[in-house]
Amino acid sequence: MWHCMAKRSQSPTQAAAPARVRRSYFECLYGQLHVHHAIPAGGGFEEAPPLLALHAAARTGRMFGGILAAMGADRSAFAPDLPAFGQSDGPWEALTVTDHAAAIGDFLDAMRLRQVDVLGCGLGALVAVELALSRPGVRRVAVMPLPPEAEQRHYPLSAQMARIAQPTLLLYPRDMPQALLTAAADLPVRARRELPGDLSLLETAPETVADVLKDFLG
């Protein structure tokens, strides 16, 4: 198990190297949950709050591989395949956002993570918002929403985000379709950050996203 403790300060000459990304399985209410993860060289002790990254529909936690490696230099970072995605077990019928959040909650409980920051993209953004509302241990939330996914899953994203008490950050690539940018502009968040390029930057320029996240998460 890994536990979050006070972060040890690092001098400029002690910059941590990217962490190695590994994979493991954990139990959840739908069976086994496949999780990509990166742990600091010190084994997870004396680190910053852990990061939980949740993927978009039709993707898996693997989309965050580069971000996990960068963020895992000074904190534990996890990117599960949501139930019924990738190598995670799940029912044939479509799961609701609440169902996915419950399964991820099982993982957080199994890991005994008392506090966690959450990054969500697309479907993962919806699950991140639901976790922020249902789990007191969620400290900060960063989202990169894709409105059509919210519409397809009948999740009232804007109304739910308005209820979040935690600091929230909206990440939006400047090259997203105008319709998505317009929809994102109406979301009730405390902070916004434009990123260069399009959604592929999560995989093509993970260090850029990681730098923004570290600035927001502290």
Q: Please write the tens of the pLDDT for every residue from 176-208.
A: 877 777 777 778 888 999 999 888 888 899 999
Q: Bridge-partner residues for 26, per DSSP?
A: 33
Kindly state whether residue 153 falls inside one of the protein's structural domains. yes
Q: To the nearest whole number, what is the mean pLDDT of the chain? A: 86
Does residue 198 belong to any structural domain of this protein?
Answer: yes
Tokens of 178: 């105008």
> What DSSP line would sit under 129-163, residue for residue?
HHHHHH-TTEEEEEEE--HHHHHHTT--HHHHHTT
Is the pLDDT at 85 greater than 70, yes or no? yes
On whether residue 135 sits in a domain, the answer given is yes
- The CATH number for 111's domain is 3.40.50.1820
Report the amino acid identity of residue 214: K
- Could you give the percent of the chain with pLDDT greater than 70? 87
Residue 4 placed within a domain: no
Place 65 in a pLDDT band, splitting at 50, 70 and 90: very high
Beta strands in the chain, from DSSP E residues, in sequence order: 21-28, 31-38, 51-54, 77-80, 116-121, 138-144, 168-173, 191-195
Confidence of residue 3 (pLDDT cuts 50, 70, 90): very low
Least confident span in 55-69, 166-180, 202-216: 166-180
Q: What is the pLDDT of residue 116?
A: 97
pLDDT at 8: 40
* pLDDT-derived band at 168, boundaries 50, 70, 90: very high
**C-alpha 187: how far from chain center:** 18
**What does the angle CA 159 – CA 160 – CA 161 come to, to the nearest 5 degrees?**
95
Q: Which two tokens stand for residue 51?
A: 């990061």
The reply to whether 23 falls in a domain is: yes
Total of domains in the chain: 1
> In this model, does residue 104 exceed pLDDT 90?
yes
User: What's the pLDDT band for 148 if we cut at 50, 70, 90?
Assistant: low
| Contacts of residue 178, Cβ cutoff 8 Å, sequence gap at least 6 | none
Average pLDDT score over residue span 125-135: 95
Contacts of 33 (CB under 8 A, 6+ apart): 25, 26, 27, 80, 81, 83, 88, 89, 103, 104, 106, 107
Give the pair of three-digit tokens for residue 145: 């929403």
Residue 192's domain comprises 16-217
- Lowest mean pLDDT segment, chosen from 75-89, 126-140, 142-156, 190-204: 142-156
If pLDDT is split at 50, 70 and 90, which confidence band does 100 have? very high
Q: Flag whether 3 is in a domain.
A: no
Asked if residue 133 lies in contact with residue 160, where contact means CB atoms within 8 angstroms, the answer is yes
| Residue 172 included in any domain | yes
pLDDT score recorded for residue 47: 77
In a domain, 72, yes or no: yes
pLDDT digits (tens, 9 = 90+) for 5-59: 334 444 443 556 788 999 999 999 999 999 999 998 866 556 789 999 999 988 9
Average pLDDT over residues 100-125: 95
Could you tell me the pLDDT band of residue 4, with boundaries at 50, 70 and 90?
A: very low
Q: Are strands 138-144 and 168-173 parallel, antiparallel or unpaired?
A: parallel
